[in-house]
Amino acid sequence: MRTTDSTRWTGALRALSAAAAWLCALAWLAPLAYALWASLHGAADETRFALDAPWTLANFVDAWHAAPFGRYYVNTVLLVLGILVVQLVLSTLAAYAFATVPFRGSGIAFWLVLVQLVIAPDVLISENYNTMAKLGLVDTLAAIGLPFFASAFAIFLLRQAFKSVPKELDEAAEIEGCSRLLRLWKVYVPLARPTYVAFALVSVAAHWNMLLWPIVVTNRPESRPLTVGLAIFAGQEAGVSWSMLSAATVIIIAPLLVAFLVFQRQFVQSFMRAGIR
Amino acid sequence: MSRTSVIAAGAAAVPGTAAARARRDTIGGWALVAPSLVVIAAFTLYPVVLSLVHAFTAPRGGVTLQQVHAMVDDEVLHKVFVNNLVFAAVTVPASIVIALAMALWVNGKIRGRAFLRLAFFTPTVLPMVAAASIWLYFYTPSYGPIDRLLHVFGLPGHNWLGTPETALPAIMVVTIWKEAGFFMIFYLAGLQNMAPELEEASRLEGASAWYHFRRVTLPLLMPTTLFVMVVAMTASFKQVEHIFVMTRGGPDNASSLLLYYIYKVAFTFYDEHYAAVLTLVLVATLLLLAFLQFRVLERRIHYR
């Protein structure tokens, strides 16, 4: 049994652990806090942390005019939503088949789908670029999105969700004369709502953030998403101050960050649900 | 309902037509799966096959091992591959340990739990490009925050990204910073799924907190750890965004990783056939990782 000595010892350890936790958290937030500070101050104050340093929005104005961020924004939003909608439709159909239809060859089909979990299309940049060139799609948003229209991940998650739907519900709907597709719409999809929300958040975050494939397949500002815009902006040798780069960074992360802060719990749960099982 | 469909419905109920039903299921099943399969075939399976073809054919046609020989002699490739292994060997365990610590902190009774969780998780939602451009600033020689901090302590500054020895480690730090919070939530879920009776039992038995962690918590979190390992290892071969922004692989390929090298070969040197061989190396690595993880996962879960 414990002595008072060991309780004191664990008490000290606990305090130490809490201190470490806070230190770690502050270290984790520091880069972001720093970027925010630099973006809101003039070049002279970007590393001088005086509270009376004058605040300014000039960096945002400069950054916004230095590159077509408006266009990039529209592209990213269209891209992310387009991918999500197609993914949801295609994956729902496929997952429904895998979960409820005992069809011949379903095992092989499922394995083929799972290959995409291991080899993501954005790893195969060289050959996929050639395909897009042959399709005449280079420099379009469609080219960026097309390889992601099918999602092994979504199919996998939804299949699990559909499998956990009670058979009685399905049978009851069948007796009422619901066709297979109608049952999908009326019984399965509503019950899998949490999975949809989880996947949607993960998908939006993932495609909002992707860089390599868009860099490969686009050359003109008209078809570039935000991430490529920022990479090019950061890569300029001259004419971009740190304050401006910080402002550009904040411009790009703001919507995600705000969405995250508002739907924090939802986000964490979604990322979690998406990963587990 | 029309007459014929009534008959059809009646017929379907007869056991003799099970074969017809099976055929209908097969057609229906494939029809539902087809749209997804077509996309996966076109942008995942076909490019792998195409890489195989390109890898073993000469640019002017004809079967050749030219590219394979080039690969064996390519010192840059060797460097890049070693870089990638080092990158994985450091970032994966480091982010796992930090993630576990974070999860334990946030799961316990600690002041400002919600804030801590928020702080740890936030980098996860940011694009890697954004994270990299912030850190680019941090690493700026003599002017950036890190060097300024060093100056305060009277230490000399350092060109973190411009020196071969520190370029890759600097990028690893960014990766760990960005990924740890993501892995934390899986551990958090694992911890929250744990029966509270376990801890109570340990306490009644007089086991120390450390003993409980080592003998109960850690083994029970094994599936989570393995899952996180899969994700982290795969990511270490797929993530190159930070390299684009921070070092472009330099200096002298010191911070280049396999996928970034493929990008350079394919889109800077325009050597499609050599890029194909390299792509196969990457694909083989990813498949091997997946296979190993799958095996380990299976075994551990059975013997637990």
Look at residues B35, B55, B75 and tell me which one is the last residue of a structural domain. B55
Cα of B22 to nearest chain A Cα, Å = 7
Name the residue in chain B with its Cα closest to that of A261: B118
The confidence band for A48, taking pLDDT boundaries of 50, 70 and 90, is: low
B149 and B282 inside one domain: yes
* Three-state secondary-structure class, residue B1: coil
Question: Residues B81, B224: one domain?
Answer: yes
Domain count, chain B: 2
CATH architecture label of A69-275 = Orthogonal Bundle (1.10)
Distance CA A95, CA A87 (A): 11
Instruction: Nearest chain A residue to B291 by CA: give it.
Output: A118
pLDDT band at residue A89 using 50, 70 and 90 as cut-offs: very high
Cβ within 8 Å, pair A275-B186: yes
Q: How many CB atoms lie within 10 A of CB B177?
A: 19
Q: How far is A196 from chain B (nearest CA, A)?
A: 17
Q: Give the residue from B27, B33, B193 with the most A CB atoms within 10 Å of its CB, the best one to mutate.
A: B33
Closest by Cβ to A234, choosing from B39, B101, B133: B133
Domain ranges (residues) in chain A: 4-60, 69-275
Q: Are residues B151 and B218 in the same domain?
A: yes
Cβ of B29 within 8 Å of Cβ of A106? The answer is: yes
Alpha carbons B48 and B198: distance in angstroms, whole number: 48
CB contact under 8 Å between B279 and A123, yes or no, is yes
What is the per-residue pLDDT across A113-122, written as a single tens digit (0 to 9) for each?
A: 989 988 888 8
Position B155 scores a pLDDT of: 86
Give pTM, 2 decimals. 0.86
Last residue of a domain, one of B11, B36, B55: B55
Residues B35 and B10 in one domain: yes
B34/B147 same-domain check:
no
pLDDT band at A50 (very low <50, low <70, confident <90, very high): low
Is residue B168 over pLDDT 70?
Answer: yes
| B42 & B161 share domain | no
Same domain, B165 and B115: yes
Give the residue from B280, B266, B286 showing the smallest Cα distance to B55. Answer: B280
Chain A, nearest residue to B142 by Cα? A47
Question: Which amino acid, A228?
Answer: V
CB-CB neighbors (< 8 A) of A94 in chain B: 32-33, 35-37
- Compute the CA torsion angle B11, B12, B14, B20 (nearest 10 deg): 100
Contacts of A116 (CB under 8 A, 6+ apart): A150, A151, A152, B40, B44
Q: What is the pLDDT of residue B1?
A: 41
Cβ pair A268:B137 closer than 8 A: no
pLDDT, residue B16, reads 53
- In this structure, the answer to whether residues B107 and B159 fall within a common structural domain is yes
Cα separations in angstroms, A240 against B105, B200, B263: 40, 58, 26
- Check residue A274 and give its pLDDT: 60
Q: Within this chain, do residues B142 and B236 fall inside the same structural domain, yes or no? A: yes
Q: Which residues of B touch A258 (CB under 8 A)?
A: none
Show residues of chain A in contact with B26, CB under 8 Å. Answer: 103-105
Per residue, what are the HEC states of chain A?
CCCHHHHHHHHHHHHHHHHHHHHHHHHHHHHHHHHHHHHCECHHHCCCCCCCCCECCHHHHHHHHHCCHHHHHHHHHHHHHHHHHHHHHHHHHHHHHHHHCCCCCHHHHHHHHHHHHHCCHHHCHHHHHHHHHHHCCCCCHHHHHHHHCCCHHHHHHHHHHHHCCCHHHHHHHHHCCCCHHHHHHHHHHHHCHHHHHHHHHHHHHHHHHCCHHHHHHCCCHHHCCHHHHHHHHHHCCCCCCHHHHHHHHHHHHHHHHHHHHHCHHHHHHHHHHHHCC
B50 falls within a domain: yes
Instruction: Give the SS3 label for residue B165.
Output: helix
B23 lies in some domain: yes
pLDDT, one tens digit per residue, over B14-44 is: 555 888 888 888 999 999 999 999 999 999 9
Q: What is the pLDDT of residue A276?
A: 47
Predicted local confidence at residue B29, as pLDDT = 92
B50 touches chain A (CB under 8 A): yes
Residue B155 contacts A where some CB pair is shorter than 8 Å: no
Domain region containing B294: 66-303
Q: Quick one: B22 and B144 in the same domain?
A: no
Which of B246, B192, B227 is closest to B297 using CA atoms?
B227
Residues 6+ apart with CB under 8 A from B171: B87, B242, B243, B246, B247, B255
Helix (H, G, I), strand (E, B) or coil at B57: strand
Nearest-CA distance A164 → chain B (Å): 19
Asked whether residue B211 is domain-assigned, the answer is yes
The CATH number for B174's domain is 1.10.3720.10
Do B91 and B9 reside in the same domain of the chain?
no
Residue B273 sits at the chain A interface (C-beta within 8 Å): no
Q: 212-231 in B: which are within 8 Å (CB) of A?
A: 227, 231
Distance CA B116, CA B155 (A): 31
Question: Tell me, what's the pLDDT at B15?
Answer: 52
Interface contact A126-B275, CB threshold 8 A: yes
Q: Which two tokens stand for residue A254?
A: 């703001």
- Tokens at residue A192, please? 């899998």
Name the region of B57 (left: φ>0; alpha: ψ -120 to 50; beta: rest): beta
Nearest Cα neighbor of B173 from B125, B117, B123 is B123
Question: Which of A69, A127, A189 is the best substitution to test chain B (most B C-beta atoms within 10 A)?
Answer: A127
Between chains, do A34 and B134 touch, taking CB under 8 Å as contact? yes
Other Cβ atoms closer than 10 A to A29? 17
pLDDT in tens, A161-211: 899 889 888 888 888 888 888 899 989 999 998 888 888 888 888 898 899
Residue B272 vs residue A3, higher pLDDT: B272
Residues of chain A contacting B35 with CB distance shorter than 8 Å: 90, 93-94, 150
> What is the pLDDT confidence band of residue B5, given thresholds at 50, 70 and 90?
very low
Q: Which residues of B touch A216 (CB under 8 A)?
A: 263, 267
Select the more confidently predicted residue: A271 or A173. Answer: A173
